Amino acid sequence: MGHSKFKEKMVHGLFFLNGLLVVLVLVGIFILLVAKALPAFREIRLIEFLFSANWNPTATFVAPTYGILSMFVSTMAVSIGALIIAIPLGIGAAAYLSDVASSRVREIAKPVIEILAGIPSVVIGFLGIVLVGPVIAKIFHLPNGLNALNGSILLAVMALPTIISLTEDALKSVPKSFEEASLALGATYWQTLVRVKIPAAASGIIAACMLGMGRAVGETMTVLMATGCSIAMPKNFLQSVETMTSTIAIELGEVPYNTTHYYALFGIGLVLFIITFAVNMIADVVLHKHQKVLK
C-alpha cells in the first residue's frame, strides 16, 4: 500500500518535472528572442516595424527601413490560402475514409497518407518549382508560377496528412448512436455527416485545422522555394511574395552580427513566436468551450 503510493507520487513528480521542463524551454526561447530583438528598437520605432510595409535594411544611400507588414500579410495569405484548400479536402477525405471507403481502400490509403506526412519539405518545395509552378504559369498565363498560390497549394499538401488523420479520429469517436438516430429520422448520409457527425466532432476537427495552421505559419523551406521571394505587399495570390520565415532564412546567414538588421530579424522571429502561441491558445480555448457544451 505505502509502496504503491510512493510509486504513484514518483510518477506524478516525473510528469510534473516533464511539464516544467517544457515550460522552461518555452520561456527560455521567449526570453532569448526578446533579448535579441530588443536592441533593434533602439533605432526602429515599434510602430514602423509592425505597420510599415517597407523592408530595406541594406539601403546604402538612403536610411534603411524595417517594416515587416508585407511579410506578415504574405505569411497570413499563404497560410490561410493553404487552409482554404486543405480543410475541405481534409474533411472530405476523412469522412470518406471513416465511413465510405472499403477496408481494402483504407488499408492502402492510411500508409500512403503517413508517407505523405514524412516527405521532407525540400522535396515538396522542389515539386513546387518543377510541377505546380509550371502548371500555374500555364493556367494563368504568367512568366513563372512561383507565387503565393503555389505556396498555399504546397502547404495544403503538407497540412493534409495531419488534418485527415486527426479529423478521421474525431469522426470515428462520434457515437454510432447519433448516426443511427439521424438516419432513422430520414436523413441522408450526407445530411448526417454535415449536421450531426461534423458538429459532434468539431472540437477534434478544429484542433486538426489549428495544428495544420501552426505548421503552415512556421514552414520555411517550402515557401522559400515556391513563392518567388520578393518582398511586396501581396495584392493577389498570383503575385510573388516573401513570408516572415523566408526572410529570416535568407537574410540571417548574410547579416553582420549585432547590427540593427540582425536584431530586427530576431524581432520577426519574436512576432512569429507570438502568432503561433496565440493560434494554439485560441485553439485550446475553443476546444474547451466546445467540450463543455458536449458534456
- Site residues for another protein per CB under 8 A: 175, 177-188, 191, 195-196, 199-200, 293-295
Smallest separation (angstroms) from another protein to the CB of 175: 7
State the SS3 of 72-134.
HHHHHHHHHHHHHHHHHHHHHHHHHHHHHCCHHHHHHHHHHHHHHHHCCHHHHHHHHHHHHHH
* Strand (E) or helix (H) holding 205: helix 202-218
Toward another protein, which CB reaches closer, 60 or 102? 102
Closest Cα partner for 250 from 217, 224, 215, 223? 224
User: Is 211 within 8 Å of 282 (Cβ atoms)?
Assistant: no
Q: Give me 121's grid cell.
A: 519539405
Toward another protein, which CB reaches closer, 229 or 287? 287
Place of cell 546567414: 253
Q: Phi, psi (5° rounding) for residue 61?
A: -95, -25
Region class of 256: left (phi > 0), else alpha (psi between -120 and 50), else beta: beta
Smallest separation (angstroms) from another protein to the CB of 98: 13
Smallest separation (angstroms) from another protein to the CB of 204: 13
Using DSSP's 3-state secondary structure scheme, residue 196 falls into: helix
Toward another protein, which CB reaches closer, 252 or 287? 287
Smallest separation (angstroms) from another protein to the CB of 200: 6
Smallest separation (angstroms) from another protein to the CB of 196: 6
Smallest separation (angstroms) from another protein to the CB of 192: 8
Closest Cα partner for 265 from 243, 249, 242? 249
CA distance 68 to 55: 6
Distance of CA 212 to the CA centre of its chain: 5
Distance of CA 190 to the CA centre of its chain: 29
Smallest separation (angstroms) from another protein to the CB of 110: 18
Toward another protein, which CB reaches closer, 165 or 182? 182
Toward another protein, which CB reaches closer, 3 or 292? 292
Toward another protein, which CB reaches closer, 141 or 295? 295
Toward another protein, which CB reaches closer, 63 or 184? 184
Q: 56 - beta bridge partners?
A: 65
